[in-house]
Structure 1
Amino acid sequence: MQTDIYYRDITRTENLENYLMERVEKILSDFLRYDSDAHVTVRVETDRHRTNARRPNYMCEILVKTSWMKNPLKVQKSDPNFRTCVAKCTGALKVILSKQSSLKQQHRRRDRALETDAQLTDFEWLNTF
């Protein structure tokens, strides 16, 4: 799995980098364990800059491209607190990936061609459709 992190209008620090990598890899390690071709892009930026009258607003975007999904997943969240923004984004990504994974498992459970226990003749197999 390849992970790229892009910063815009935020100073990159080692602490922020470690926090982002820890959160993203914790979520994706379960779902993309066997997919070595997966590509993850994380973009973190400031929507609103800090002034005397207002607080900054942060935006986090995670883009996941895997070999087993047709379309890439894109999750985007914003919040005034940086850590809360990242937590919301990774939480939403976890929900989406768990739904994708459960749909994939349900499809395999229903598919008669993938069952190894079924000893069907060619005629019985054709009648299942």
Structure 2
Amino acid sequence: MFNPSREQVRQFFTETWRKHKSGAILTPLEAMALDWILQHPEYHADLESPQALEADYSVEQGRTNPFLHLSMHLAISEQLSIDQPPGIKAAHQQLLATRDAHEAAHEIMECLGQVVWEAQRLGKPFDNEAYVALILQRATRR
């Protein structure tokens, strides 16, 4: 399994943005990442900043970590493209019945964060079924 370092993740997103701005050809994964970058103009300055590679985006600063946020968008996009965990694609479709695609992705992101936090807190493996169940619960709220 690919497990990039913090520096590699940050370089991936800053390089994707640089390539886009210069008109360079993107890889398929970079093109997918660019779609999310374009939907988050509030992160563009971070992606252009040389300090971004070392910046600390702590909760105390009151700022979202743009690299974590974009990484989660990218992970969710990949999950949806292969329906892994099974059922996530159908749950996403239910969210789309009452939300736009970006809002639906943020709903899924909340669920992903919750299940990852639970797994880390309890020292257990990621619970695919709980993850999809949380998404389905959100799909019925509105």
TM-score (norm 1): 0.31
Q: Is the strand fraction higher in 1 or 2?
A: 1
Q: Which has the larger radius of gyration?
A: 1
